[in-house]
Amino acid sequence: MTTLFDAYTAGSLTLPNRIVMAPMTRVRSDADGLANASMARYYAQRATAGLLISEGVQPSKLGQSNPFTPGLHTDAQAESWRQVTDAVHINGGRIFAQIMHGGRISHPTTSGLQPVGPSAVAARDVLVFAPAGRLPAPVPRELTLAEVPQEAHSYAAAAVRASAAGFDGVELHGANGYLIAQFLSSNANLRTDRYGGSIAGRIRFAVEAAEAAADAIGADRVGIRLSPGAGIWDAHETDIPELYGALLAELARLDLAYLHLEASTDEQTLVGLRRAWPGTLIVNPTHPAGAETAGRKHADHWLGLGADLISFGRAFLANPDLVERLRADLPLAEADEETYFQGGDKGYLTYPHYQH
């Protein structure tokens, strides 16, 4: 019987266990998007995970979603990440950078640029993060047909910088209503050209971004995260089984390191996608918009349904020793939501290991 503590080979990496730290925005960088010593310590504290996936990292200034999030689009940013990857590797870990283009989920006061999207459609009833606080999501500028491939290739450019910074690979953020998910969406993407309309059109941007990253650093060092049916940031989809079945069929031919699925739709659909995906599957086993923190029972359930690896988000925030706590069936500490995005080390580096 497969357990969380069995070793596993994913792409070019051998993982000592099947526990993955999910990507989580923590807004601890500086205004220039540079990683810092606190971030290095934060990831090093959690290096016993089989794989760490970084917070979302913008591939360009245009791709920045939130203030004080890190980037991988300048030499200085890439160099700043070296302290993080070195700290993780010294502590025996492995780390992928999650490349996250915010698309329309941004604000001009955050990046200095008008956000872009597949269509000039604002996210409805959504307040985005901005330097002055939460503000209504603006109407994005629709990307021209010539610009769309350029934005797809921005993921590859960031992947090259991530490799130079010492990351073991990258994960493309195709989930939770950001740019890739906006192209998949039937209400954020109203295009009538080759990047919209039909299922084949709506999946094209995701496939081109994955192809570009795989060509840039090798497919065995590229994963992608998806959230079928999540509806986060007002990015809704129709024909979910057909849409994601078609997307996975195209991605499967690339032989990527892994597919990372959130439990954002019904279990039957997710199990169908497991059967359709021939490679390594990571499952994040609780709904991304829900209040439930994933634990051992959720992990065992999805391992039984065919997942290869299990990612934990909130549980890793408050439990830097999560692997040891799960192994010994120790109680999990709860994270303080007030400190998720406030900056500083409180609620970031201050969670202790379990005291026997």
| Closest residue by Cα to residue 262 from 314, 312, 204 | 312
Would you tell me how many other CB atoms lie within 10 Å of the CB of residue 161? 24
Q: What is the C-alpha to C-alpha distance for residues 224 and 5, in angstroms, rounded to an integer?
A: 23
Q: Which of 178, 195, 244, 351 is catalytic?
A: 178
Q: Known catalytic residue: 244?
A: no
- pLDDT at residue 77, rounded to an integer: 98
- pLDDT at residue 214, rounded to an integer: 98
- pLDDT at residue 290, rounded to an integer: 67
| Closest residue by Cα to residue 34 from 5, 9, 58 | 58
- pLDDT at residue 292, rounded to an integer: 74
Distance of CA 150 to the CA centre of its chain: 20
- pLDDT at residue 218, rounded to an integer: 98
- pLDDT at residue 317, rounded to an integer: 94
Topology given in CATH for the domain delimited by 8-339: TIM Barrel (3.20.20)
Q: Which parts of the chain have pLDDT scores under 50?
A: none
Phi, psi of 275 (to 5 degrees): -65, -30
| Boundaries of every domain in the chain | 8-339
Structure tokens at 84: 């993080």
CA geometry: angle at 50 spanning 44 and 55, to 5°?
55
Helix/strand/coil for 42: helix
Would you tell me how many other CB atoms lie within 10 Å of the CB of residue 271? 14
- Check if the beta carbon of residue 337 is closer than 8 Å to that of residue 293: no
Instruction: Tell me the pTM.
Output: 0.97
